């Protein structure tokens, strides 16, 4: 597959603690990149408490899948790093249930 020569920029945050890291991705960003929840492992988390769904994609595999898929679509995912201390709040959220789900419906 050939990659587009110009890139759209998508800004995100990479959270990390003493042991793990996660890429923070909004529901709109997930839909834009078209990564389905059944492609994401149960090592990633979801937060819907504020009324808007936010995903925290596990740094080793899920974040890489998202970034690679975005790049193939001409989207350059850029992030700022955020140190969440010894243990991130993310680990207290619900894990993503990797059931076959289509976003946006």
Q: Which backbone phi and psi does 62 adopt, to 5 degrees? A: -65, -45
Question: What pLDDT is recorded for position 38?
Answer: 83
The pLDDT tens digits along the chain (105 residues) read 555 566 799 999 999 999 999 999 999 999 999 888 888 999 999 999 888 999 999 999 999 999 999 999 999 999 999 999 999 999 999 999 766 545 554
According to the model, what pLDDT value does residue 51 have?
87
β-strand pairing of 75-83 with 8-16: parallel
Question: What are the tokens at 92?
Answer: 């207290």
Which pLDDT value is given to residue 100?
52
State the pLDDT at residue 1: 54
- 88: three-class secondary structure by DSSP: coil
């Amino acid at each position: 597959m050939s990659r587009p020569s110009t890139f759209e920029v998508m800004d995100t945050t990479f959270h990390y603690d003493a042991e793990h890291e996660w890429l923070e991705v909004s529901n709109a960003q997930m839909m834009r990149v078209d990564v389905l929840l059944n492609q994401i492992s149960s090592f990633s988390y979801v937060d819907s408490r504020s009324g808007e769904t936010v995903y925290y994609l596990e740094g080793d595999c899920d974040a890489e899948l998202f970034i690679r898929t975005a790049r193939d679509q001409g989207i350059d995912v850029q992030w700022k790093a955020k140190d969440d201390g010894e243990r991130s709040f993310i680990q207290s959220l619900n894990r993503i249930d990797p059931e076959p789900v289509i976003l946006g419906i």
